[in-house]
């Protein structure tokens, strides 16, 4: 699946962490001819947030009133046989990120997702496992990258990756 539908809420790093991770995504994109995209951890993904832009803006605004800034720690590179989780870094599944996901899902009237796996995608694509293993060998599997989440980013994620765009950033207080 190379296309998505609806909206997503992303947690985007800032500063040096943003630059470092954006560089990895860009290099992989160039080397393997895969889409380049905004560095992020998905809080709620495309396919689940469907409705009008006005509804999404309103609910995301309500959600920010319920949250405070929090930390995310990226710990281990991995891959799946999935287009949108081709190569990624797992985020530590803390009580805090699980609670944030649960609050977000409740705000958008979605069922809780006990399988929620916070992760930071490095590459989208249909790539064979041997190539993914080589990528992980080159990158290293262990990571220790932390960043503070100070805002939520509502993205329109309808269509191909290059059609996606930020609708609005919502600062957390």
How many Cβ atoms sit within 10 Å of the Cβ of residue 158? 16
Q: Which has the closest alpha carbon to 3: 124, 123, 159, 162?
A: 159
Q: Which domains does the chain have, with CATH numbers?
A: 7-171 (3.90.1140.10)
Residue found under tokens 């944030």: 100
Whole-model pTM? Answer: 0.93
pLDDT one-digit tens code per residue, 43-97: 999 789 999 999 999 999 999 999 999 999 999 999 999 989 999 999 999 999 9
What is the arithmetic mean of pLDDT over 18-22? Answer: 98
Strands of 165-171's sheet in order across = 142-149, 70-79, 87-91, 119-123, 41-49, 7-11, 151-156, 165-171
Residue 27 has pLDDT above 60, yes or no: yes
Q: Which two tokens stand for residue 27?
A: 């290099």
pLDDT one-digit tens code per residue, 101-155: 999 999 999 999 999 999 999 999 999 999 999 999 999 999 999 999 999 999 9
């Amino acid at each position: 699946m190379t296309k998505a539908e609806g909206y997503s809420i992303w947690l985007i790093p800032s500063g040096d962490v943003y630059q470092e991770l954006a560089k990895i995504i860009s290099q992989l994109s160039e080397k393997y001819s895969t889409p380049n995209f905004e560095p992020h951890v998905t809080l709620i993904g495309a396919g689940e947030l469907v409705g009008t832009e006005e509804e999404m803006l309103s609910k995301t605004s309500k959600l920010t009133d319920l949250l405070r800034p929090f930390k995310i720690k990226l710990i281990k590179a991995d891959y799946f046989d999935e287009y949108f989780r081709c190569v990624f870094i797992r985020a530590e599944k803390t009580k805090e990120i699980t609670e944030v996901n649960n609050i977000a899902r409740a705000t958008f009237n979605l069922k809780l997702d006990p399988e929620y796996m916070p992760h930071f995608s490095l590459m989208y694509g249909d790539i064979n496992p041997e190539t993914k293993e080589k990528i992980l060998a080159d990158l290293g599997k262990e990571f220790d990258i932390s960043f503070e989440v100070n805002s939520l980013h509502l993205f329109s994620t309808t269509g191909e990756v290059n059609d996606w765009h930020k609708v609005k950033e919502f600062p957390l207080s």
